Every structure is written in C-alpha cells, then in structure tokens.
Amino acid sequence: MDAREADESDRRTESNLMTSSPQAEVTIVDYDPAWPARFEEERTALRRALTAWLAGPIEHIGSTAVPGLAAKPVIDIMAAVDTLEGSRDAITAAAPLGYCYFPYQASVRHWMCKPSDAFRTHHLHLVPTTSLQWVRPIAFRNYLRAHDDVAAEYLQLKRELALKFRFDREAYTEAKASFIEAVTQKAMTLGYGSGVRSADS
C-alpha cells in the first residue's frame, strides 16, 4: 500500500473503529499559542518512553503545528521508527503515557490517541522514515507555514465542514481530503519535503 492509498484507508476507517463509543463533536477553535509548548512537553515524555525504537525526530504535524491556524484542539505527533515490526513493542511503552492503540492502517503506521478514542487531546503516529507517509505530512505542514493564503483557505474550508458535519468526524475528514491531497502534491513537487528522509521519495 502506498502513501496515498494509506491516506484513503485512514479516512475510511478512522471513525468506523470508534463508532461503539460516544463521539466528541467536530469543533474548530482559535489558534492557541500554548500548542507548541504542549507538543514539546509531550515530545520530551515520548522521547524518554520510546527511545529504544526511535530512528529520527519526533515531529509536530497537522493544523496545530501551523502558527495562527485554527484547528481541532488535538496535538498531532509523528515519531520516526525504522520499521513497524521492529517498533511494535513501542505501543506497549506508550501506554503509561495514556495512549490507546487502534490497528487501522496498520501496514504503514502504528496509530494511537489519548486519553480515549472518543475524546482526544493527542494523536501519535509511529511511521518508518523510509516511507512517503513520513514525508507527506511534513511537506503539507511546511507548505501551510510558508503560505498564509493557503492556510487561510484551509481554515475557511475546515470551519464550513465543521458546521456541516458537526457530529460526523469521518465525513468531516473525507470532505477535507481533496484539498489536503492537492496541497500535499504541490508541496512535494516544490520540494517542501526535501531533506526529509524517505527511500520512496
């Protein structure tokens, strides 16, 4: 499965895995200047807990990683590993920090959230640095950081979709997909993923 197919699998299955629990509504809040500090605090804890499996940096990704961009108040974190098989025990190691594991898209990442599947403050993605799935979220983030106009367009879309799909997280995510894909492809073409380790790029 390549990165694009993995993203599509993500969008189809994320909410389906959690339908047995009550779901928090989709809410976009104004940018919180505390988000970077919350990420740094979590990165420090994760570096201690996962040091045996880390093969590179721990990155802040997603909308909360873009200064000034309103977002769902969830800190998205991506940590580099060599392989999924070799980092399987990291799932257990992350549990004391409050992370719950869900085996969706398990062929390309280990995905966890905290404190629960329904109400989340953090997402954690353990991704091999040799995969495009490592490069693409960083390229998207870097492009938004460098282009305020595109970030503003993305924000408008998110606010509209959050109103339309307030209680349907899967539909909200699906509706953003084409925008994210288009921007990511442009970012990759223009080199916003350059210097980010990936054997597939």
DSSP code string of 70-84: -B-S-EEEEEEES-T
What confidence score (pLDDT) does residue 197 get?
56
What confidence score (pLDDT) does residue 21 get?
55
Positions of the chain with pLDDT under 70: 1-22, 195-201
* Residue 107, both tokens: 């062929």
Question: What class does CATH assign to 3-189?
Answer: alpha beta
pLDDT digits (tens, 9 = 90+) for 57-76: 999 999 999 999 999 999 99
What confidence score (pLDDT) does residue 153 get?
98
87: phi then psi, degrees, rounded to nearest 5: -110, 15
Q: Please give the model's pTM, rounded to 2 decimal places.
A: 0.87
What confidence score (pLDDT) does residue 22 get?
63
Alpha helices in the chain (DSSP H): 3-13, 35-50, 89-94, 132-146, 148-164, 169-189
What confidence score (pLDDT) does residue 50 get?
98
SS3 call for 88? coil
What confidence score (pLDDT) does residue 6 get?
46
What confidence score (pLDDT) does residue 182 get?
98
